[in-house]
Amino acid sequence: MNKTNKILLVLVIVLFVVLIGFVGWREWFVKSNSYYAVYLRTGDIYFGQLVRFPYFGLKQVYLLQVNRDNQQNPLSIQKFTRVFWEPEDYLKINRNEVVWMAKLQEGSQLAKVIETNPDLLPPPQLSDTNVPQINSEPQPK
């Protein structure tokens, strides 16, 4: 092999390794469609898609809220962007504050709710005009 062929071979190998590294990096750090639960030292639990680069955090974020006044439904999930200060849909998390995190199963109830109603909007309420009226009086024949 002459010198030019050796240089081309090394260049092709390096480009191949870089390409494999980029694809692996993209799959591992950027592309994650699974939802995770993250429990912080503050006692807050957040749900979302885990992001590891450029910062550790969650995107498509939801938070668990405790409603002590509501005995029938003491827990609720809320879209992070719908809280009163209207943050962006990304939560940068300090790794030192994470107590634990767990991947949600794809078929879990929470994952299904998020997939079918990503904004967690309440179902539309029926107005009086949309509700069919039942007339108990006999109809004239």
Domain ranges for the chain, please list them: 31-116
Q: Between residues 29 and 77, which one has the greater pLDDT?
A: 77
pLDDT of residue 53: 81
Residue 27 binned pLDDT confidence (cut-offs 50, 70, 90): low
User: What is the CA angle 85-39-112, rounded to 5?
Assistant: 80
Average pLDDT over residues 14-35: 72
d(CA 25, CA 53): 9
Amino acid at 54: P
Cis peptide before 54 (omega within 30 of 0): yes
Cβ(39)–Cβ(100) below 8 Å: yes
d(CA 20, CA 10): 15
Q: Between residues 135 and 88, which one has the greater pLDDT?
A: 88
Cβ(115)–Cβ(45) below 8 Å: no
Strand, coil or helix: 119:
coil
**What contacts 68, CB < 8 A, 6 or more positions away?**
74
CATH code, residues 31-116: 2.30.30.100
pLDDT of residue 22: 73
CA neighbor of 81 nearest in space, from 71, 90, 72: 90
The model carries a pTM of: 0.64
Which pLDDT tens digit goes with each residue over 49-98?
999 888 899 999 999 888 888 888 888 888 988 888 888 899 999 999 99
